[in-house]
Structure 1
Amino acid sequence: MGPTRNRDLTAATVLAAVAGYLLVLVLYRFFPPITLLSGVSLLAVALAEAGWAFYVRARINDGRIGDGPGWLHPLAVARSVVIAKASAWVGALVLGWWIGVLAYLLPRRSTLRVAGEDTAGSVVAAVCALALVVAALWLQHCCKSPPEPPDTPDGATE
């Protein structure tokens, strides 16, 4: 399993934005109001992942990976990578959705009162989705093993 590629996440975001725009174009009149709290749950997950990333990074840098008291088990790091990859994909797709919603709302704010009211909530949700993508990529980065120290010619490590 390799690292999540930014171009793949970008492509997913663009595709979700196009699909989201087309859905909103057809179904917007059936939508409930978009409040400022619409995307805040994503921010909570992003903050949790960012906090976990700093914890994992500190443990890896201290060399406290293993099976002892106060140490971080290697399977916990592997599970963290899986969570980070899944969160990055979810965040990218949700970000695309909110970009599609914003692409519909922004040009119609002056002519459609409801669009003006929904814009702020959509912006907050898009920012929260972006925060989830960033936090997930950071967690994935923090789960990397530190580089091995180079060996000197006589076989001793520095």
Structure 2
Amino acid sequence: MSTLRFRWLALVGVLAGLAGWLANWLATRNGYGTPTLPLTSLVTTAVILGITLVFGRRVLRWRNGNRDRPLDPILATRTLVLAQACAYAGALSLGWHAGILVDQVALLAVRSTTAPLWGSVALMVGGILMIVVGLVVESFCRLPPDDDGTGAPGSIEGEYA
């Protein structure tokens, strides 16, 4: 399995930002509300981050030598996939709400409230946290260069647990 590429994360973020800006531009100019997630979605984001960190911590403990019982390879693979999905979802959320924020800043002069602005900022912070946790947990799943997962010395560089 390949590692996360910053270029792909950036591309997802930029495309989502353009889509978010366009969706907000169309919605606000046609009398609809701002197409942001509700702030309660930050609770779901926190739960996802917590689950990702718990599974990542299990893999990290095994990787750092706590091998009193074998690590389930399916669990390790699912943890890696969860970490990468978390990072991509964070890039998507960050980009979408950044695009909305850009359009909302332009509307500050005609708006009576700044609630959509602060909501977008809060959800952008949630997206940044998802990217960071995804990258950190992905690094937890990486085997050291001299470890092949069996405890014997090896030379598998960049392999995942």
Q: Percent identity?
A: 29
Matched, 1:19 2:22: no
Q: More relative contact order in 1 or in 2 (CA 8 Å, sep 6+)?
A: 1
Q: Structure 1 unaligned runs (5+)?
A: 152-158
Task: Give the alignment partner of residue 142 of structure 2, picking from 126, 140, 144.
Answer: 144
Alignment check: 8 A CA contact 2:39 2:119 kept: yes
- The runs of 5 or more residues in structure 2 that have no matched partner are 148-152, 155-161
The reply to whether residue 123 of structure 1 matches residue 121 of structure 2 is yes
Superposed CA offset, 1:98-130 (max 9, x none): 11111111232232124x121111111110111
- CA distance in 1: counterparts of 2:35 and 2:87, whole angstroms: 27
Q: Are residues 1:30 and 2:26 paired? A: no
Preserved contact between residue 43 and residue 131 of structure 1 (Cα < 8 Å) = no
Q: Per-residue deviation at 1:79?
A: 1.2
- Retained in 2: the 8 A contact 1:36–1:120? no
C-alpha RMSD of matched pairs (Å): 2.3
Offset, 1:38: 4.2
Larger Rg over CA atoms? 1
Query: What SS does the corresponding residue of 1:102 show, helix, strand or coil?
Result: helix
Partner of 1:98: 97
Q: Is the 8 A contact 1:102 1:123 kept in 2?
A: yes
> What residue in structure 2 maps to residue 52 of structure 1?
55
- AA aligned opposite 1:54: R
TM-score (normalised: structure 1): 0.80
Q: Contact 2:23/2:35 (CA < 8 Å) preserved in 1?
A: no
Query: Counterpart in 2 of 1:42?
Result: 45
User: Does the residue aligned with 2:145 lie in a helix, a strand or coil?
Assistant: coil
Q: TM-score, normalised by structure 2?
A: 0.79
Deviation at 1:147, TM superposition (A): 2.3
8 Å CA contact 2:20–2:96 kept in 1: the answer is: yes
